[in-house]
Amino acid sequence: MIDILHDSPVPIHEQIAEQIRVHVASGALKAGVRLPEYRALAQELLTNPQAVARAYGELEADGVLRPVAAGAMEVTTGAGMTCRLRLQDAARSRLRLAVAQALAAGLPESEVVQAFEQGLATARVQPISDDEALRAIKKPTHASRDRAPLGIQDVSRQGGP
């Protein structure tokens, strides 16, 4: 459901919060759905529990999540609209920034408009069903026995004599 990019310049708590917002906005996480307690989610994501707690805190402050029994969080009623509006604002900001960068780089306005229209045409796709969305975002789980222990020493030994 959530994929963390540890080498990203975007802080982990922001990655978590943003991905939860996207799932809520898309309807993949509906009102009333419970998310695991922050330590359990951190263990699943192999990340620091404080990053998950901070993401949950931001989402709670935005009215997207509310605490429930046993430290879990629940998606609130109206969270879908809240998340869509926030994502729309962020998309508008990124579009304005991209246009400003393109013009500052010397691209003619006609090329900027053409690139935008091509991107828009490419992005138009048929919406997927809720079931397809859930299958697409579900993170596969693997037993630890399925993973080969390749530490840095193991990898360096494989390439050597």
Q: What is the mean pLDDT of each run of 10 residues along the chain (161 residues)?
A: 91 96 95 95 95 97 94 94 94 95 96 93 70 60 51 50 49
> What are the φ and ψ backbone dihedral angles of 69, each rounded to 5 degrees?
-55, 150
CA distance 139 to 124: 26
Asked, for residue 137, whether it belongs to a domain, the answer is no
CATH number at residue 107: 1.10.10.10
CA distance 91 to 81: 15
pTM higher than 0.85, yes or no?
Answer: no
CA quadruple 86, 6, 28, 71: dihedral positive or negative?
Answer: negative
Residue 93's domain comprises: 12-125
Q: What local confidence, expressed as pLDDT, does residue 91 receive?
A: 92
Our measurement of the distance from residue 22's CA atom to the centroid of its chain's CA atoms, rounded to an integer in Å, reads: 6
Asked, for residue 153, whether it belongs to a domain, the answer is no
Q: What local confidence, expressed as pLDDT, does residue 1 receive?
A: 80
Asked, for residue 104, whether it belongs to a domain, the answer is yes
Q: What local confidence, expressed as pLDDT, does residue 139 receive?
A: 55
CA distance 76 to 33: 8
Phi-psi region of 75 (alpha: psi -120 to 50; beta: other; left: phi over 0): beta
Asked, for residue 95, whether it belongs to a domain, the answer is yes
What domain count does the chain have?
1
Asked, for residue 151, whether it belongs to a domain, the answer is no
Among the residues of 46-129, which ranges form H helices? 49-61, 79-104, 109-123
Is residue 8 within 8 A of residue 15, CB to CB? The reply is: yes
Asked, for residue 117, whether it belongs to a domain, the answer is yes
Asked, for residue 102, whether it belongs to a domain, the answer is yes
Is residue 82 within 8 A of residue 39, CB to CB? The reply is: no
Asked, for residue 19, whether it belongs to a domain, the answer is yes
